[in-house]
Amino acid sequence: MTTTTIKVSDETKQLLDMLQAKMTLTFRKKKTLTELVDTITRLALRHENELLDTKKLPSLEKDPAMQPPIDWGVKTDASKVDEYIYTED
């Protein structure tokens, strides 16, 4: 396998981290960023016509993922994240 280093903005990195966390919660298995980018690339190619049709693309300003995060005022303990995610009830 050949690897390539890419540079992304801090905002894009944050969005990738959020997506990675959501996928971890959904599948109960962590995907690496490489696996995540592979998945995103394959999905984009499957929907290539939609991706290239600029009339169908939503405005980034209206995208909820582009909005600043909401502070819910809940204190969390980051050291227990794995326990919260991987412990079965």
CA atoms within 13 A on the CB side of 31: 20
- Residue 68 belongs to a domain: no
- Residue 89 belongs to a domain: no
Query: Which 3 state secondary structure label does DSSP give 36?
Result: helix
Range of the domain at 49: 29-55
- Residue 7 belongs to a domain: no
- Residue 35 belongs to a domain: yes
pLDDT tens readout for residues 15-47: 999 999 998 888 888 888 889 999 999 999 998
- Say yes or no to pLDDT of 89 above 90: no
For the entire predicted model, the pTM comes to 0.54
In the chain, the number of structural domains is: 1
Query: Which 3 state secondary structure label does DSSP give 48?
Result: helix
- Residue 81 belongs to a domain: no
CA dihedral over 65, 66, 70, 75, signed as positive or negative: positive
- Helical axes 10-27 vs 33-46, angle rounded to 10°: 90
- Residue 38 belongs to a domain: yes
